[in-house]
Structure 1
């Protein structure tokens, strides 16, 4: 069964669809976007797009009581944001969408850690 699956999906569905879309008469700027190495037919486009959900969820928790927040989760969010912000500038193609989403993740994670730390050290409840 593997040869059948390999024949269907190798070299990939995305390159096939990309070539079909590029065969249509489109403006050159749109063709440039579609053909870009971090364009909409690659994981480099969709991974940051879906990762924005994590950043938006963290922004939605800005007013959440600190006793209902997880320090380890916020630490993971902040570290992930910092590490992947750096990595997004090293990989080829440089992915500014990945940089921005991870920068926002790092900032919101650090802010939430600060809120948790402030509430813990000063024994205040942010309700």
Structure 2
């Protein structure tokens, strides 16, 4: 019986780095905020990177977004994170970038796309 308990502890200890690894990967996503949206308007998150795509959510200026890092044109927000903020904004100004947002479905958050002109590094 003791050996079973030790095995359970060993498994839990061995699994702990995996849990932290998954958490640290999740927190590696870029936080950006909605900025520059005209007064009284909101930034639409869309299902696909297109103005014609279905709207999923709308965010006012100042909303902090959890970005996946992926943008159209092969740009990754994590790759440009060390650059000055204005340079980052210029890089994604005419690109669509993927955002995580709710509601969660089947324990998975929904992703959508926002236009880079209206987001800024947080």
TM-score by length of 1: 0.28
Tell which structure's C-alpha radius of gyration is larger. 1
Question: Which structure shows the bigger proportion of residues in strand conformation?
Answer: 2
Question: Which structure shows the bigger proportion of residues in helix conformation?
Answer: 1
